[in-house]
Amino acid sequence: MKRLIKHTARHIPGATRLSKRAWVEVRRLGERARFALAGTPPPGHAWLLASSGRSGSTWLGDMLAALPGVQAIFEPLDPRNSARYRQLMAWPAHAPSSTLRRHYLRPSECAPQWADFWQQVLQGHVRTYLTDYDRTSFFPQRFLIKSIRANMMLGFVDEHFHPPIIFLSRHPGAVINSMFYRVRASWPASAQAILRQEKLVADHLQPWVRQVEQVQDGFEAQALWWALENRVGSRQMHGREYFHIFYEDLALRPRQTMDALLRWLGAPPEALPQAMFQRLSRMTSVTQRQSVEDDAMKRLSAWQRELSTDEQRIVLQWAERLEIEWYDAGPLPRYTSGPRPTA
């Protein structure tokens, strides 16, 4: 069916938008029927998976969406997916959708337009062909909201709606290496977009304004953005209930890490299909004598071989400067995945 829609869109002028809209609507028939009878789940019933870009959120999202009754909604805060989001962000018409522009909201901020937008997101009303590209449940019971643009609004979302929040982190060296070198043209970044947000600067950057003003290089801007959005996310969620999961734990100990996360979410670990873990082994190039863990470690430490000494220094310096304590010069996190606050 998907191939037929693409074929039709290519050969009939003006059919692309209509065909994509039809694709979304047809695939939501079961969802609409279920919620017509049972009512749309409240915003707090959704799971929110938040991370920086290139941190493995698509991989983790696919794992969670394999659970029965979970419908994934892919990046509803992508400016291509919501005219309302573009309006709230005053998104420049010329800016690529992947431009590092993140909005900051204080947890207790009075922002009714943003509150209304987030309610729509969490209740599954912000939907396009891109958000619904993969149908994970025909009769869903809950939504999984996957977003790389929500880190600096997590406290606001929790304050208003209290959804279970999964905060995913990956070593900044690996993230920046992936962003800047592997998909460089697709992730433009600038420090000026940070300085224009006065509340963000006042709350989180006041001691380092001069250093931020001096950031001109695109690589360093990426490092700054990673440190900032992870600082804000962790500070806003301090003392609140959430699950902090590290990409490195998923790569090295996928079964144990996912079991802990699923128990926290109230989902039976045995409900996750074994095939999802088999996908991990297919991502590696394991030889007869090499264990999956050894291969995973090579991938996790690749940034140490691919980034120069100066580049590594820049990345780690911004993480340390903005008081991100999870990572150091090694490839693994200092802490383990788990619920926060810890008992």
Helix, strand or coil for residue 70?
strand
pLDDT at 201: 98
Length of the chain in terms of residues written: 343
Q: Which domains does the chain have, with CATH numbers?
A: 1-29 (no CATH), 40-340 (3.40.50.300)
Beta bridge partners of 167: 50, 244
pLDDT at 10: 47
Structure tokens at 307: 């980034």
Q: Which residues contact 102 (CB under 8 A, 6 or more apart)?
A: 149, 151, 152, 225, 229
How far apart CA 251 and CA 329 sit, in angstroms, is 18
Longest Cα pair distance anywhere in the chain, in angstroms? 60
Say if residues 226 and 319 touch (Cβ distance below 8 Å): yes
Closest CA to 126 of 100, 105, 147: 147
Beta bridge partners of 168: 51, 245
pLDDT at 294: 83
Residue 82: burial class (beta carbons within 10 Å; 0-12, 13-18, 19+):
buried
Distances (CA, A) of 275 to 74, 207, 271: 21, 48, 11
Residue 73 has phi, psi (to 5 degrees) of -120, 110
Distances (CA, A) of 20 to 9, 96, 260: 8, 21, 38
pLDDT by residue for the chain (343 residues), tens only, comes to: 555 554 554 445 555 777 777 777 787 888 999 998 888 999 999 999 999 999 999 999 999 999 999 999 999 999 999 999 999 999 998 888 888 999 999 999 999 999 999 999 999 999 998 998 788 898 999 999 999 999 999 999 999 999 999 999 999 999 999 987 765 556 789 999 999 999 999 999 999 999 999 999 989 999 999 999 999 999 999 999 999 999 999 999 999 999 999 999 999 999 999 888 776 555 544 444 456 678 889 999 999 999 999 999 999 999 999 999 999 999 999 999 999 997 5
pLDDT at 14: 53
pLDDT at 222: 93
Say if residues 178 and 98 touch (Cβ distance below 8 Å): no
Own/partner contacts of 22-26, CB < 8 Å, gap of 24 or more, are: 23/129, 23/132, 24/127, 24/128, 24/129, 24/132
- Measured at the CA of 239, the angle between CA 238 and CA 242, to 5 degrees, comes to 80
Closest CA to 126 of 74, 189, 70: 74
β pairing state of 70-74 and 242-246 = unpaired
pLDDT at 107: 98
- Measured at the CA of 334, the angle between CA 332 and CA 335, to 5 degrees, comes to 110
pLDDT at 285: 44
DSSP 94: T
Closest CA to 249 of 334, 343, 151: 334
For the chain, give percent helix, strand, coil, nearest 5.
55, 10, 40
